[in-house]
Amino acid sequence: MTNDFCMKSLARALVEKQPVYEPGRPIEDVARELGFDFHTIIKMASNENPLGPSPKALAAAREALGQAHLYPDGNGTRLKEKIAAKRGLRTEQLVLGNGSNEIIELLGHAFLRHGDEVVMGAPAFIVYKLVTLLFEAVPVEVPLVDHRHDLEAMAAQVTDKTRMVFLPSPNNPTGTANSEEEIFAFARALPSHVIFVFDEAYAEYLDSPPDLRPLIDEGRNVVCLRTFSKIYGLASLRIGYGYGSAEWAALVNRVRQPFNTNAISQAAAVAALDDDAFVGECRRRNREGGRQLEAGFASLGLESVPSEGNFLLVRVGDGVRFFQSVQAQGVIVRPLGGYGLPEYVRVSIGTKAENERFLQAAARALGS
C-alpha cells in the first residue's frame, strides 16, 4: 500500500482537534490488567447505581428481548405517554435519546452553527464542550465559584453570538446545585436568541428538584434533560429524554435517527417509571452512603465538596497517583485532570460495603 491513501487528509479539520472523552475504566479492563477476578473489583467511577437496575425495569427488558427481531417504535409512544403522565407534560414536548447525551448532540445538529458561542461552567459535564466543538461552535467557559455555577458571571458572558447556555444542577463532577429561585432569575434574563439547556441527570436525588415547566409554559427557550442512567440504574441501556416546547421537540425530532432508542430500553424505562419504591430506596441509601464517605474522609483528614448527587468530589493531593493506588487495590474511581482538578478524584457513592472497601484502600493510598 502506498501512502497516497491517507485517511487523515480526507477528514474534516476539526476531527483531529476533537478532544477524546475519557470514560471511567471498565471493570473488565482493570481486572485483566491486574490479573484480578472480575468480581473482586468495584467501580465507583461513573456515577452508576450500586443497587443495580430497577427490578421492574429488568423484568420488562427481559420480556422485550423476545421481540428483538422487530424494529422498535421509532416514536417511543408508550414511553412518551408514561413520561408525560408522570411529569405533567404533553407527549409532543418530548424527545427520546440514546442516553441524554444524544440529546445534547441533537441540540448541536439542530441549532449550532460555525462560530456560535455556547456558555458553560468549568468544570462542568465535559460533553457540552465536546458537542460544541463538534459543530465548530465556540465554548465560553465560566469558572465555578466554590465549585458552584456562578450564574451572574455566566449571564455576563452572553452576547449576540450566544446560541446556547448549559446548566447541570446538580453539576457533574462537583455535585453542587443551584437554587430554583436563582435558576428562574437567570433563565428569565436570557435574551430570546439563547436556548437555556438545563441538565437534570441527578434531579431524582434531590428532595424537591427545581421545576422549570413554568419557564417552558411562558414560551421561553428552555430545554430540560433527564436520564435513566443514574437513579434508575439503566446506564447500559442508553435511554434519556429532553422536554421543552412542542415547537422545540418537533425540530429536534427531525434531526435524529428514526430508531435512535431501542425497544428493550423503552420497555425498561416505562417499567422504571413505575418503580417508585426502588427510586425511594436508592435515594435513601445514597444519602446514607454519602454520610458514610464524608465521615470516612473527615477521619482521613480529606476535604470533600458537599454533594447533592450520587458522588463526591474529594481532594487527595495527586489525583492520578491516588487513582492508581486504589485501582491496584481493586477500586476504580475517576481522576479529574481532564476537568482541571488534578488534586481531586470523583468517587461515586457505593453500597455500604463498597464504601468501606474504598475508604480502606484510600487510607492505604494516602499512607504509602
Ligand X SMILES: *Cc1c(COP(=O)(O)O)cnc(C)c1O
For 45, other C-beta atoms within 10 Å of its C-beta total 24
| Stretch 254-273: interaction string toward ligand X, x if CB under 6 A | --------------------
Residue 311 as a binder of ligand X (CB under 6 A): the answer is no
Residue 327 as a binder of ligand X (CB under 6 A): the answer is no
Find the shortest distance in angstroms from Cβ 124 to ligand X: 8
Residue 99 as a binder of ligand X (CB under 6 A): the answer is yes
Residue 199 as a binder of ligand X (CB under 6 A): the answer is yes
Residue 125 as a binder of ligand X (CB under 6 A): the answer is yes
Find the shortest distance in angstroms from Cβ 269 to ligand X: 11
Find the shortest distance in angstroms from Cβ 49 to ligand X: 11
Query: Would you say 168 or 335 has its CB closer to ligand X?
Result: 168
Cell of 23: 470514560
* Closest alpha carbon to 266 in 240, 243, 246: 240
316: left (phi over 0), alpha (psi -120 to 50) or beta: alpha
Residue 235 as a binder of ligand X (CB under 6 A): the answer is yes
Find the shortest distance in angstroms from Cβ 202 to ligand X: 7
Residue 105 as a binder of ligand X (CB under 6 A): the answer is no
76, 123, 175, 240: which one contacts ligand X (CB under 6 A)? 240
Helix (H, G, I), strand (E, B) or coil at 160: coil
54, 93, 169, 172: which one contacts ligand X (CB under 6 A)? 172
Show the beta-strand stretches assigned E in the chain. Answer: 42-43, 94-97, 117-122, 138-143, 162-168, 195-199, 222-227, 240-243, 303-305, 311-315, 331-332, 334-335, 344-348
Q: Which of residues 8-67 bind ligand X (CB under 6 A)?
A: 47
What phi and psi values does residue 219 have, to the nearest 5 degrees?
95, 15
Q: Which stretch binds ligand X (CB under 6 A): 77-85, 93-101, 322-330, 343-351?
A: 93-101
Residue 244 as a binder of ligand X (CB under 6 A): the answer is no
Q: What radius of gyration, in Å, describes the C-alpha atoms of the chain? A: 21
Any alpha helices (H) in 35-76, and if so which ranges? Answer: 55-65
Residue 286 as a binder of ligand X (CB under 6 A): the answer is no
The answer to whether 230 touches 170, Cβ cutoff 8 Å, is: no
Q: Which residue is nearest to ligand X (CB)?
A: 99
Q: Which of residues 66-85 bind ligand X (CB under 6 A)?
A: none
174, 229, 261, 310: which one contacts ligand X (CB under 6 A)? 229
Query: Would you say 231 or 359 has its CB closer to ligand X?
Result: 231
* Closest alpha carbon to 234 in 17, 52, 36: 52
Residue 241 as a binder of ligand X (CB under 6 A): the answer is no
The answer to whether 107 touches 2, Cβ cutoff 8 Å, is: no
Which residues are CB-neighbours of 274 under 8 A, at least 6 positions away? 56, 82
Q: How far apart are the first and last CA of the chain?
A: 51
* Closest alpha carbon to 104 in 166, 161, 17, 190: 166
227, 262, 286, 355: which one contacts ligand X (CB under 6 A)? 227
53, 168, 289, 330: which one contacts ligand X (CB under 6 A)? 168
Query: Would you say 49 or 229 has its CB closer to ligand X?
Result: 229
* Closest alpha carbon to 97 in 234, 216, 259: 259
Query: Would you say 273 or 365 has its CB closer to ligand X?
Result: 273
Alpha-carbon distance values, 1 to 4, 5, 6, 7 (Å): 8, 8, 11, 13
Find the shortest distance in angstroms from Cβ 171 to ligand X: 7
Find the shortest distance in angstroms from Cβ 227 to ligand X: 3
Q: Which of residues 331-360 bind ligand X (CB under 6 A)?
A: none
Dist. CA 57–CA 354, nearest whole Å: 24
Which residues contact ligand X (rule: CB under 6 A)? 47, 99-101, 125, 168, 172, 199, 201, 227, 229-230, 235, 240
